[in-house]
């Protein structure tokens, strides 16, 4: 269970193991076609827009149609260190500064990869901590399916 202190930002951390090498896991965050299959995707939603400018200072926009509404996700890449680290800001409103997310990718047993995602969340979102955690876990599990189909290395 996550412990949240009043009026303090808190971290939500998710760790997943993949049978793919680190470069493929890393590249999956920047492949627009593949990212549309897992990044901010939900089982009932329809992905309508995935734009990723995968460079330092580059932006991403991911929009999924959920029922009658669009769920929008925005970010700016603040660190890209191939194939071991990705950091970005994350927001659901284009003009908000966003909260920091870091992705650490390290080699793991037998050519696999260990991915650690850390999302630092503002205290006003504390009531949503379980939902935020579940969303990241769902996405990282969906990434596993995409990787098992093969991700092109670039």
Whether residue 150 is predicted with pLDDT greater than 80 in this model: the reply is no
pLDDT in tens, 36-82: 999 999 999 999 999 999 999 999 999 999 999 999 999 999 999 99
For position 7, what pLDDT does the model report? 82
As a whole number of angstroms, the distance between CA 37 and CA 35 comes to 5
SS3 31: coil
Options 3.40.50.720, 1.10.1060.10, 1.20.20.10, 3.30.530.20; CATH for 10-149 is 3.30.530.20
- In angstroms, the CA 135 to CA 108 distance is 24
User: Domains of the chain: which residue ranges?
Assistant: 10-149
């Amino acid at each position: 269970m996550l412990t949240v202190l009043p009026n303090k930002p808190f971290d939500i951390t998710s760790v997943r193991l993949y049978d793919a090498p680190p470069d493929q896991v890393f590249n999956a965050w920047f492949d627009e076609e593949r990212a549309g299959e897992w990044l901010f995707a939900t089982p009932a939603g329809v992905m309508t827009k995935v734009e990723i400018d995968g460079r330092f200072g580059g932006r991403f926009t991911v929009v999924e149609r959920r029922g009658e509404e669009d769920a929008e996700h925005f970010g700016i890449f603040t660190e890209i260190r191939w194939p071991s680290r990705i950091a970005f800001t994350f927001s659901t409103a284009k003009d908000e500064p966003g909260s920091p997310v870091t992705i650490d990718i390290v080699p793991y047993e037998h050519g696999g990869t260990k991915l650690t995602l850390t999302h630092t969340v503002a205290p006003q979102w504390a009531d949503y901590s379980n939902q935020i955690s579940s969303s990241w876990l769902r996405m990282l599990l969906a990434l596993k399916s995409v990787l098992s189909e093969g991700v092109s290395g670039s």
